[in-house]
């Protein structure tokens, strides 16, 4: 995994209890190891979903170009809103 950083997090008590149960059952060596594994899993799943969606979009572009164009055009407003939100967050971060 490489270098590590110390990170302080606050978790709901019920979640902490469940993690401790896993530790007692020997399913993890430490809370840090458990959380690192959970984060890696979440990131991996997100990458898999993104790749799957990208493959489906590419297939649709070939099999039904009109439907692809309709979906793409309908998403233009959404993409504009996302870009505006990102720009606003970046401006806010610069002001801090």
SS3 per residue for 23-83: HHCCCCCCHHHHHHHHHHHHHHHHHHHHHHHHHHHHHHHHHCHHHHHHHHHHCHHHHHHHH
Find all residues with CB under 8 Å of 22, minimum gap 6, and list them: 28, 34
The first and second tokens of residue 12, run together, are 């709901």
pTM of this prediction exceeds 0.85: no
Query: How far apart are the C-alpha atoms of 92 and 63, rounded to whole Å?
Result: 43
- The tens-digit pLDDT sequence of the chain (96 residues) is 678 889 899 999 999 999 999 999 999 899 999 999 999 999 999 999 889 988 988 898 899 999 888 887 887 777 787 788 888 888 877 665
């Amino acid at each position: 995994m490489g270098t590590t950083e110390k990170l302080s997090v606050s978790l709901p008590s019920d979640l902490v209890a469940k993690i401790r149960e896993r530790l007692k059952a020997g399913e993890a060596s430490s809370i840090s190891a458990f959380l690192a594994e959970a984060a890696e899993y979440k990131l991996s799943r997100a990458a898999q979903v993104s790749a799957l969606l990208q493959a489906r979009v590419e297939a649709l572009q070939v099999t039904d170009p009109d439907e692809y164009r309709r979906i793409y055009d309908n998403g233009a407003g959404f993409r504009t809103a996302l870009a505006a939100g990102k720009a606003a967050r970046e401006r806010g971060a610069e002001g801090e």
